[in-house]
């Protein structure tokens, strides 16, 4: 399933870029991370100024060098904190006792929050910077792959549910292929949303709705299978009681 972050602010609260909850911005390091995240989300990687970050954080410029040493180490620290929240929230969602369609709806809701909160832009900025910065790319790529691996795990779970219902998709429609479709579509949608291609919004929503409908059908089949599996047990119990 798509990407998510751990913090769940309201739509209104998400309008101001924020990495950490206000109560967690209580140390010099957290203040620097929060200020760097806000600058990345609002102005981008190319315009990122260590001095402006220090000013926003209310700390001495030298403290940024002390805690993070370089600009790239700082932005990777920002990404790591965001990814830590992202993966934790997504794991909780996948582990929740709800249907696949409900999980998809949750992921879509989280995406709207992440787009408004600045997280989607922060990640896109680091994508772009990584193209011409090999050392940044070396650190950035594993973070993206960790998200893709988590998505793959969710798709594999859905495939197992399908197979349990007697539906086996023919080759080459594997879980790996479907997970690739989902992640690459999602990333492309993010870039289109960020640069304001509103003409694609209807098409994106239609595609997301189509996946949701497929998952709703899977949920229906899974519930039918569960009821069918329970029925013989109930009948045997009822028969023993009569005798």
Contact 133, 72 (CB under 8 A): yes
Average pLDDT over residues 110-123: 90
Predicted TM-score (pTM) of this structure: 0.79
Predicted pLDDT of residue 90:
83
- What pLDDT, on a 0 to 100 scale, did the predictor assign at position 65? 92
**Average per-residue pLDDT for the chain:** 86
Q: What is the pLDDT of residue 205?
A: 93
> Does 122 score more than 80 pLDDT?
yes
Report whether pLDDT(5) > 60: no
pLDDT at 202 over 80: yes
Most confident of 157-161, 179-183, 223-227, 228-232: 179-183
Q: What is the structure's pLDDT at 18?
A: 84
**Taking 60 as the threshold, does the pLDDT of residue 124 lie above it?**
yes
Element (H, E) at 153: helix 134-164
Least Cα distance to 1 among 99, 85, 113 occurs for 99
* C-alpha closest to that of 176 among 154, 144, 147, 206: 154
**Separation in Å, CA 31 to CA 24, 26, 54, 69, 71:** 9, 7, 9, 16, 15
Structure tokens at 104: 């998809």
pLDDT value of position 55: 95
pLDDT of residue 232: 59
Number of other residues whose CB lies within 10 A of the CB of residue 7: 20
State yes or no: pLDDT of 224 exceeds 90: no
Residue 86 pLDDT grade (very low, low, confident, very high; cuts 50, 70, 90)? confident
How much helix, strand and coil, in percent to the nearest 5, is found in the chain?
Answer: 80, 0, 20
Q: Alpha-carbon distance 185 to 40, whole Å?
A: 24
CA dihedral of 97, 100, 101, 104, whole degrees rounded to 10: 100
Residue-wise pLDDT tens digits, 23-41: 888 899 999 999 999 999 9
Q: What is the band of 11 on the pLDDT scale with cuts at 50, 70, 90?
A: very low
Eight-class DSSP state of 128: H
Of residues 74 and 18, the one with the higher pLDDT is: 74
The residue-averaged pLDDT of 116-131 equals 92
pLDDT tens figures, 134-154: 999 998 999 899 889 989 999
Q: In this structure, what DSSP letter does residue 11 have? A: T
- Which of 78-92, 127-141, 218-232 is least confident? 218-232
């Amino acid at each position: 399933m798509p990407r998510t972050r751990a913090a769940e602010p309201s739509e209104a609260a998400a309008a101001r870029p924020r990495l950490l909850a206000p109560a967690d911005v209580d140390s010099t390091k957290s203040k620097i991370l929060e200020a760097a995240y806000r600058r990345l989300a609002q102005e981008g990687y190319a315009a990122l100024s260590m001095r402006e970050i220090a000013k926003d954080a209310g700390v001495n410029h030298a403290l940024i060098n002390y805690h993070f040493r370089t600009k790239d180490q700082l932005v990777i620290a920002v990404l790591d904190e965001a990814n830590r929240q992202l993966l934790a929230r997504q794991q909780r969602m996948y582990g929740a006792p709800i249907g696949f369609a409900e999980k998809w709806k949750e992921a879509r809701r989280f995406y709207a929050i992440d787009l408004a909160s600045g997280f989607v832009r922060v990640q896109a900025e680091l994508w772009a910077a990584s193209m011409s910065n090999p050392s940044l790319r070396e650190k950035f790529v594993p973070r993206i792959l960790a998200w893709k691996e988590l998505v793959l795990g969710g798709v594999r779970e859905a495939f197992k549910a399908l197979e349990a219902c007697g539906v086996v998709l023919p080759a080459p429609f594997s879980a790996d292929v479907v997970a690739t479709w989902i992640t690459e579509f999602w990333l492309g949608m993010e870039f289109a949303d960020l640069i304001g291609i509103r003409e694609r919004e209807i098409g994106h929503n239609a595609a997301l709705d189509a996946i949701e409908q497929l998952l709703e059908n899977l949920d229906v089949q899974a519930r039918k299978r569960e009821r069918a599996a329970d029925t013989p047990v109930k009948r045997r119990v009822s028969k023993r009681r009569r005798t």
